[in-house]
Amino acid sequence: MMNCEPLDLLVTGGTLLTMNGTMDLLENPVIGIREGRIVFVKSGTAEMPEARERLDAKGCTILPGLVNTHTHAAMVCFRGLADDLPLMEWLERHIWPAEAKYVNREMVYAGTSLAIAEMILSGTTTFCDSYFYSGSAARAAVDAGMRGVIAQGFIDFPTPDSPDPSRQIEIAEKFVGTWRDRSPLVTPSLFCHTPYTCSTGTLTTIKETARRIGVPFQTHLSETREEVHIIRERFGKSPVQYLDSIGVLDEKTIAVHCNWIEEDELDLMATRGVKVSHNPESNLKLASGMAPVPKMLRRGIAVGLGTDGCASNNDLDLFGEIGTAAKIHKLTEMDPTAMDAATVLRMATIEGAKVLGLEREIGSVEPGKWADLILIDMEKPHFTPLYNLYSHLVYAAQGSDVTTAIVGGKVVMKDRRLLTIDLPAVMEEVRRIGRTIQTDRTVKP
């Protein structure tokens, strides 16, 4: 039955990269949006349907909003606190003590709000977050009109929000129960820190809970060589073999990093349908290693891009990851054809959605999906001349080229002004948190 109500929003003009299965490109598209979802996508038409709001995309490329498959958003509060250090010194002497001391409900709300502002300003409309006080992160997402897969985290030692690791199932069920139907913007999830910081019991308990209540399960996996050695010593198996042996791997498992993965592990991941979040800038900055992404893609493994947290990146601009991902594997494979621009842009959109289990909801511009769109201003010297849109978006674009962002049909940024976040207030609150942290330390400029 046709809905004769006027549309809520009509986006017209420019060039649309749908990122659908056939990678359709439409010049002068007309995109109709009602109740948050895309109703139709057509080529330019003389007769324009009625709509409460219209958005002119002339001179712009329209893309599905980018999907950041791995962040610890509130860690923006630690951005630049400690860099260029050996990994264990960085973690044990800077990040973990700072987290133990300064992470609380308010810090997570403020930090996540700032992170969301930064992500919207650089074209991300969905983020997958794992940190402490996940309820605060989910609230920040809903308040900002941002889409998020928000995970409650688990680790086998007391954390700021969970002093008692024995109450895992209760905490997991409570978090998912609270958030599963509260907002179409939030998908709750469960996250185990790593196979070397979570016991077999924790991993299986959390995965079983996630499976029973039908939410994505996430874990950092094989980020460093050292942790592969630890798992091999403890269990006599590679990390992927170990996780498979305890029944943790399936198509709703998201493995983050996967830098040190052998061929047989890749085969196993492909067989089980495991999804991968690839975080190249963080992996470079921490000298962790580099995921064999071309090998994953050849096996049909879904790979999305992530920024990781701001202590190890140090920004949340997914265009940075896009450019880095497109280039770094050419070097590691010594092959300039290793991953082309369109493939990488798929990783940042529809493949990222697949990683999060949201490929029927977001990740491409198609009727029925949520209207999560971004507009990129192509009237820039670094986009001139134009031979190939994919090339420009991957090798020349930066987050600041995004002018407009729409999440679930709601315009959250227009002409680079954020419409749902009081940015000066959020920045001031995070600065206040930063000053508190800095007065306890002697940090040179």
Residues 334-353 that bind its own copies (CB under 8 A): 334-341
128 in helix, strand or coil?
Answer: strand
Interface residue with its own copies, options 157, 199, 384, 417 (CB under 8 A) = 384
How big is the site for its own copies, counted in residues (CB under 8 A)? 77
Q: Looking at residue 91, what DSSP letter applies?
A: I
Query: What gap in Å lies between CA 326 and CA 435, rounded to an integer?
Result: 37
**Within a 10 A sphere around the Cβ of 339, how many other Cβ atoms?**
22
- Between CA 297 and CA 301, with CA 299 as vertex, the angle to 5 degrees is 60
Between 114 and 128, name the residue whose CB sits nearer to its own copies. 114
Between 156 and 333, name the residue whose CB sits nearer to its own copies. 333
Interface residue with its own copies, options 29, 148, 399, 408 (CB under 8 A) = 399
Instruction: Identify the helix (H) or strand (E) that includes residue 124.
Output: strand 124-131
Q: Is residue 403 a contact point for its own copies (CB under 8 A)?
A: no
Cα–Cα separations (whole angstroms), residue 101 to 109, 313, 382, 429: 16, 22, 44, 17
Q: What is the nearest approach in angstroms of its own copies to the Cβ of residue 13?
A: 17
Q: What is the nearest approach in angstroms of its own copies to the Cβ of residue 255?
A: 20
Query: What gap in Å lies between CA 16 and CA 30, rounded to an integer?
Result: 9
Interface residue with its own copies, options 324, 349, 403, 420 (CB under 8 A) = 324
Query: What gap in Å lies between CA 333 and CA 113, rounded to an integer?
Result: 38
Say if residues 68 and 122 touch (Cβ distance below 8 Å).
Answer: no
Contact stretch for its own copies (CB under 8 A) within 41-49, 126-134, 169-177, 422-430: 422-430
The burial class, CB within 10 Å (0-12 / 13-18 / 19+), for 444 is exposed
Q: Is residue 289 a contact point for its own copies (CB under 8 A)?
A: yes
String marking each residue 14-43 x if it binds its own copies according to CB under 8 A: -----------x------------------
Between 270 and 342, name the residue whose CB sits nearer to its own copies. 342
Instruction: Identify the helix (H) or strand (E) that includes residue 187.
Output: strand 186-192
**Within a 10 A sphere around the Cβ of 150, how many other Cβ atoms?**
28
Between 71 and 283, name the residue whose CB sits nearer to its own copies. 283
Q: Is residue 379 a contact point for its own copies (CB under 8 A)?
A: yes
Q: Find out whether the peptide bond into 385 is cis, omega within 30 degrees of 0.
A: yes
Q: What is the nearest approach in angstroms of its own copies to the Cβ of residue 396?
A: 4
For the segment 33-92, give every residue that binds its own copies (CB under 8 A).
76-77, 79-81, 83-87, 90
Q: What is the nearest approach in angstroms of its own copies to the Cβ of residue 219?
A: 23
Q: What is the nearest approach in angstroms of its own copies to the Cβ of residue 52?
A: 30
Q: What is the nearest approach in angstroms of its own copies to the Cβ of residue 315?
A: 4
Say if residues 220 and 210 touch (Cβ distance below 8 Å).
Answer: no
Q: What is the nearest approach in angstroms of its own copies to the Cβ of residue 10?
A: 24
